[in-house]
Amino acid sequence: MTGWFAVASANIAAAATPGALQLPNFDAIASKAAQTVDISLDTSLLGIAAGFMDSSKPDDAAVKEIIAGLKGVYVRSYTFNGDFQYPETDIDSVRKQLSAPGWQRLVAVHNSPDHSNVDIYICMVQGRASGLAIIASHPREFTIVNIVGSVDLQKLHQLQGKFGIPQMQLPDDKAAGNK
Amino acid sequence: MSNELNDRLRAALRPVDPGESFTQGVLARIASEPARVPAAAHRAMRMLELRWLSGALLAVVATGFLVAHQWRAQHAQQGQEARRQVIEALRVTSQKLDLAYRIVKDKEHSGA
């Protein structure tokens, strides 16, 4: 009873925070998935993680700077051995939340040949980014990312190539490379 | 003369019953006085008490250290796990942003 109340309270609190999404329970999907990433970091856990970042190391300092303004980081990513083994309804329930006021779609890309879709949303409150949501789907994979708090994509971009974070070929890099 | 002295001494030293009140008085006094423990036994008891106290104190201190050590180890484990999750979350986020950019870029190339 207490556990149920705690979970319900956490969900209400998460839903009330601007930029926070109420992610559905993906347990049924997780049981079918070959690979699962399930990350839920609230403010207190982000604080603990920041405490274990060594500010004297540039990589750690950069991550620490990024998470300093965050209130929560939630990632659900599932990889399957077969095509379309996940129900679209679960993704649609998240998409519906992104039609609420404040959320704006930044990018919606759909690649027909390999059926890859990536939608990037940002939540703006009083002219400031207070949340980021990414929904990426592929026949054998789907990922939902929700970052709550002031998100700085430029700072995230600076992490490329560190800790296994892929090197992003953004236009700025190309321009810098040409100089 | 010697017989007379002898008789007088016998008379003076004859057994006399002290009476019931004397017996009761002695018994009451014995009952009211605390039992005296010999000094050596008393010291042994004090030593035993001190040993028990120091043992208990040592146990409390050792338990305190153990609890503090376990808490620190658990906190460190939780912190390292949170750190790993933050990096993993940023990796996944970056990967998906990169995927979006690549699709846009491919479309630009194919359109050009």
**What residues pair up with A135 in beta bridges, in sequence order?**
A119, A144
Inter-residue contact B96 to A52 (CB < 8 Å):
no
Q: Which residues span the domain enclosing A80?
A: 25-40+70-167
Burial class, A41, CB count within 10 angstroms (exposed 0-12 / middle 13-18 / buried 19+): buried
Tell me which chain B residue has its CA closest to the CA of residue A53. Answer: B83
Mean pLDDT computed over B6-25: 86
In a domain, residue A46? The reply is no
Distance from chain centroid for Cα A171: 22
Helix (H/G/I), strand (E/B), else coil: B37: coil
Tell me which chain B residue has its CA closest to the CA of residue A170. Answer: B101
- The domain total for chain B is 1
Q: Report the Cα–Cα distance between both ends of chain A, in Å, rounded.
A: 62
Mean pLDDT computed over B14-40: 83
Q: Which tens digit of pLDDT belongs to each residue from B103-112?
A: 888 877 776 5
Q: Decide if A67 and B86 are in contact by the 8 Å CB cutoff.
A: yes
Q: Decide if A37 and B104 are in contact by the 8 Å CB cutoff.
A: no
pLDDT of B66 over the 60 cut: yes
pLDDT of A1 over the 50 cut: no
pTM exceeds 0.80 for this model? no
Neighbours of A67 (CB within 10 A): 24
Helix (H/G/I), strand (E/B), else coil: A162: coil
Tell me which chain B residue has its CA closest to the CA of residue A45. Answer: B82
- The domain total for chain A is 1
In a domain, residue A4? The reply is no
Q: Which of B86, B88, B104 sits opposite A109 (nearest CB)?
A: B104
Q: Which residues span the domain enclosing B15?
A: 2-111
**Is 0.95 exceeded by the ipTM?**
no
Q: Which of A77, A118, A145 sits opposite B103 (nearest CB)?
A: A118
